[in-house]
Structure 1
Amino acid sequence: MFKVAIAGASGLLGRALVRELAAQTGWQVVQTAFSRVGAQQVALDVRDARAVEDFVAREAPDAIVIAAAERRPDVCEHDPAAARALNVDAVRHVAAAAKPRGAWVLSISTDYVFDGSAPPYRPDAAPNPLNAYGRSKLEGERALLDATDNALVLRLPLLYGPIVAWQESAVTSLVPAIRASAQAGNASAVMDAWATRYPTFTPDVAFVIRELLTRCADGDAVRGLAQWSGDEPMTKYEIAQRIARALGIDARLTAQTEPADATPRPRDCHLDSGRLEALGIGRRTPFDAGIRAVLDAFEAEHAKP
């Protein structure tokens, strides 16, 4: 029986992957979490090398997916040591524990390893991160691939999907401001119209990862660097407009046409997904359909008595 361990199963992407793999018969899935440990999950701090080693020795997974990360650029900028512990050291711990047992490791990285000046970016394009988050994720990529040759880095852009709170995604985190802007007497919501993003649906990423795990189970693992991205370019201002339409509200939005974030961010890091597409791997849900499903599900859940 093929056994998969998911580190960070309680997060936005981890939950989507758990749901995707639930339909995969004949596999065993071991979920780990740190801050939100559910009934079907194993408590594991991936920053603890001994704990990771003990977990891998005990569970003996055939594949490990590292979905745990510090993904908030502003947090990484203010506490780079903490970001490095999760985005670099934890990846190294997993790789070191997996290598002697022959387990394939998939680690999630980001489009922010690039500076956004010359898109689209192929996997072999020269990285040049602009902030501490991007630097920590790039260092994590190198830590993984230096530690084992039985591994894949999967770079992803801005993610959205089924949530437990608006703030889980930089896409859905816009909802409170969008709603407030539609209320009488409130100011308009200022939204970034400078940087181009490619919002990508977590159930689609989970589908991609399942396809990669299937190849691993069949003895044809994909290794090195790969990327997956939605293909609809939009600024956060345009994302907010689409969210407002999906919510059916008359939001008042103001476009911010110059970069305003305290932490530097790249302008356009469009990831080329050609390597996976050439393997017949991939799925893309149109943004309007994906965000409507997310909003409807969240509001239905929170409307329950």
Structure 2
Amino acid sequence: MFKVVVIGASGLLGRAIVGELVQQRDWRLVQTTFSRQSQGSVRLDIRDAEAVAQFIERERPDAIVVAAAERRPDVCENDPALARALNVDAVRAIASAARQRGAWVLSISTDYVFDGKAPPYRDDATPSPINAYGRSKLEGERALAETTDLGCVLRLPLLFGPIVDWQESAVTSLVPAIAASARTSPEVKPAVMDAWAIRYPTYTLDVAVVVRQLLERHACGEPVCGTVQWSGDEPMTKHDIAQRLASALQIDAQLTPQHTPTDATPRPHNCHLDSARLEALGIGRRTPFDTAIREVFALFPWRG
């Protein structure tokens, strides 16, 4: 029996991964959660290294997927200690305990480890993060590599997928402003949307397939280690995304492009990730954005 632990199973990506892995009949799945408890999950604070070690010693998994993190750039900028605790120290603690058990560790990272000045970025490109989030995730990558030889970093860009609230993804968080911009009232102003930073929205259900395929290779005795990357292949600014969302929701939105960066926390211009290493292994799936976002809205319809 192949046993997999998914840490952060109740999050945006964690839920998608669990949904994919529960379909594997010969695998045993253990889910951990913290702030958002779910039925059948184990509560685990990954900031507690001793609790992590005890949990992994008790469960004795063959593989661990680390989908828990502090992924909000503004929060990381304002609370670097929290970012380090979740994105660096917790990864080190998990990797250390996994090494004692001989378990393979897959840790999720981000395109924000790059400065966005020279895309596309191969998995062996030199990182150069420009904000606290990117720096913390890069340190987490290094913590994994320094702690275990049986580890893999999976870098991902902007994620979207089935949600529990609109704010859970930076993609769907645009919906309330889009809807508000269409209301026929003299006080309503157009929604201003960033048209500077280029992103590659990536569907969590596609990432879940990538994770499952990586786990299958480990289960067959051919673990992928080092750094790999996966990304959607449709470049969009936030303004582009908002237009696609408005079309999917059939909202006649008033959208104004903002062509210069205005975020308080610096964001890179274009961190397009090269997915060639995984593609060469026959790993990956890409659902067109318009198809995927309609699937999301079917599950969580707008009732504005």
The question of a shared fold, defined as TM-score above 0.5 by the shorter chain, is answered with yes
**Counterparts of 2:240 and 2:297, CA distance in 1:** 17
**Counterparts of 1:206 and 1:272, CA distance in 2:** 18
Residue identity matched to 1:291: I
Which residue number corresponds to residue 35 of structure 1? 35
User: What CA deviation, in whole Å up to 9, does each residue of 1:159-200 have, x standing for no partner?
Assistant: 000000000000000000000000012110000000000000
Shift of 1:100: 1.3
Residue identity matched to 2:193: M
Q: Look up the SS of the partner of 1:163 in the other structure.
A: coil
- RMSD of aligned Cα (Å): 1.0
Q: Look up the SS of the partner of 1:105 in the other structure.
A: strand
Which residue number corresponds to residue 116 of structure 2? 116
Which residue number corresponds to residue 137 of structure 1? 137
Residue identity matched to 2:235: P
Which residue number corresponds to residue 280 of structure 1? 282
Shift of 1:64: 0.2
**Counterparts of 1:106 and 1:29, CA distance in 2:** 15
Residue identity matched to 2:180: A
Q: Does 1:246 align with 2:253?
A: no
User: Which stretches in structure 1 are left out of the alignment for 5+ residues?
Assistant: none
Which residue number corresponds to residue 300 of structure 2? 298
Q: What TM-score results when the alignment is normalised by the length of structure 2?
A: 0.98
User: What CA deviation, in whole Å up to 9, does each residue of 1:42-75 have, x standing for no partner?
Assistant: 0000110000000000000000000000000000
Which residue number corresponds to residue 82 of structure 2? 82
Q: What TM-score results when the alignment is normalised by the length of structure 1?
A: 0.98
**Counterparts of 2:21 and 2:298, CA distance in 1:** 23
Shift of 1:296: 1.6
Shift of 1:41: 0.2
**Counterparts of 1:141 and 1:297, CA distance in 2:** 34
Q: Look up the SS of the partner of 1:299 in the other structure.
A: coil
Q: Does 1:51 align with 2:51?
A: yes
Q: Does 1:60 align with 2:23?
A: no
Residue identity matched to 2:189: A
Which residue number corresponds to residue 255 of structure 1? 257
Residue identity matched to 2:277: R
**Counterparts of 1:169 and 1:44, CA distance in 2:** 23
Which residue number corresponds to residue 18 of structure 1? 18
Structure 1 segments (4+ residues) deviating >6 Å:
none
User: What CA deviation, in whole Å up to 9, does each residue of 1:199-258 have, x standing for no partner?
Assistant: 000000000000000000000000000000000000000000000000001000000000
Shift of 1:22: 1.3
Residue identity matched to 1:193: A
Which residue number corresponds to residue 232 of structure 1? 234
**Counterparts of 2:115 and 2:38, CA distance in 1:** 37
Q: Look up the SS of the partner of 1:240 in the other structure.
A: helix
Which residue number corresponds to residue 203 of structure 1? 205
